Amino acid sequence: MPNALIPLSPAGRQHARQLADALEITPTGILTSAFLRTRETSEPFCQRWSMRPGVHGLLHEFSILDPVLIEGMDLAARRPLTQAYWDEADPDKRMGENAETFREFADRVMRFQGEMDALPDGTLLFTHGMWLAFLVWRLQGADARIDRAGMRAFRRFQLALPMPNCAVYVVEQPPGGAWAARATAFPQAPEERAG
């Protein structure tokens, strides 16, 4: 199904409830991507604070493959297509009409980065792993050249970055300083907590 319409699994819903209980932040605002699973992940936290999230058009995940190209394929069948995409590392390659190029994805995250100074302190973002990895990569000072070498460098970074579902990263800017990101918590799966 289209990436934007994939719902949370039952385990994902459990993680979202655990996250809502564990987050120790009084939010000034809540932003999600337009993707269904980020809105569903935010629901328990929004209910806890009686707040409605805003949808931000730049927060959605990288759509590498057009859903039409992968219709009926399971993860194992899709994996070679994704691997070939990253191996080729062409930042302008579009894998179908409803897919995004790496250059478009990178530009979208960098545009959000340019808006961060205007966000109120205490804004909570519900976004996606690859999106957040690109932001963290940029905040760590990576040379975000949008060429084959830069795309490959980002992919190596992204694959090495701890990013389980419901991972929590704090992005902050000290007075007069530069924005920085740090991981704060990686929630355990329900089966891990039970034991």
- State pLDDT tens for residues 34-56: 999 999 999 999 999 999 999 99
pLDDT, averaged across the chain: 89
Most confident by average pLDDT, 98-102, 143-147, 178-182: 98-102
By percentage, how much of the chain surpasses pLDDT 70? 93
pLDDT at 145: 80
**Class of domain 3-194 as given by CATH:** alpha beta
- pLDDT exceeds 50 at position 195: no
pLDDT in tens, 22-32: 888 899 999 99
pLDDT at 189: 44
Distance between CA 90 and CA 148 in Å, rounded? Answer: 6
What residues contact residue 16 under an 8 Å CB cut-off, 6+ apart?
8, 40, 41, 42, 43, 44, 45, 166
- pLDDT exceeds 90 at position 84: yes
Most confident by average pLDDT, 6-15, 37-46, 175-184: 37-46
Determine the length of the chain.
195
Mean pLDDT of 87-103: 96
Give the helix/strand (H/E) hosting 31: strand 29-32
- pLDDT exceeds 90 at position 1: no
Taking the model in full, what pTM does it have?
0.88
- pLDDT exceeds 70 at position 191: no
- pLDDT exceeds 90 at position 177: no
78, 70 Cβ separation under 8 angstroms: yes
pLDDT in tens, 112-144: 999 999 999 999 999 999 999 999 999 998 876
- pLDDT exceeds 70 at position 192: no
Domain spans in the chain, listed from the N-terminal domain onward: 3-194
54, 113 Cβ separation under 8 angstroms: no
pLDDT band at 60 (very low <50, low <70, confident <90, very high): very high
Detail the DSSP E strand segments found in 114-187: 123-126, 168-172, 180-185
Mean pLDDT of 94-120: 95
pLDDT at 162: 82
